[in-house]
């Protein structure tokens, strides 16, 4: 009778493969969870940066609107001052005309 080596038994290889598979599944699950957590953290950081950039852009837009509003206010003030001067000069011209006609 010939002695058989333990490695000649096919069932031993099935057991080794089962043990390795049993070790790989939890390791794979851990790696998957770690990768997903890292991706979520990166996504949140990118969202925060995008939100900060968007907020800065909106602040710039609002500042431009206020600057334009101030410019419009100055233009309107100048326009109303010019209109007031024109109307005042017109009334003075009319008053002079009336006084010249009344003197004649």
pLDDT band at 5 (very low <50, low <70, confident <90, very high): low
Which pLDDT does position 18 carry in this prediction?
Answer: 81
Question: Do residues 15 and 21 touch, judged by C-beta distance below 8 A?
Answer: no
CA–CA dist 103, 98 (Å, integer): 9
Q: Which residue has the tokens 């900060």?
A: 52
Domain assignment present for residue 4? The answer is: no
Domain assignment present for residue 7? The answer is: no
Look up the domain containing 48 and give its range.
Answer: 16-103
Residue with the larger pLDDT of the pair 11 and 41 = 41
Task: Give the number of domains in the chain.
Answer: 1
Domain assignment present for residue 10? The answer is: no
CA–CA dist 20, 90 (Å, integer): 103
Which pLDDT does position 79 carry in this prediction?
Answer: 92
Q: pLDDT for 19-46, tens place per residue?
A: 888 888 888 899 999 999 999 999 988 8
């Amino acid at each position: 009778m010939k002695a058989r080596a333990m490695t000649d038994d096919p069932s031993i290889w099935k057991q080794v493969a089962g043990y390795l598979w049993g070790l790989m599944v939890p390791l794979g699950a851990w790696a998957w969870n770690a990768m997903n957590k890292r991706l979520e953290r990166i996504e949140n950081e990118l969202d925060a940066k995008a939100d900060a950039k968007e907020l800065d852009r909106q602040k710039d837009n609002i500042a431009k609107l206020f600057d334009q509003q101030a410019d419009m206010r100055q233009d309107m003030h100048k326009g109303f001052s010019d209109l007031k001067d024109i109307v005042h000069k017109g009334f003075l011209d009319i008053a002079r005309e009336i006084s010249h006609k009344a003197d004649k």
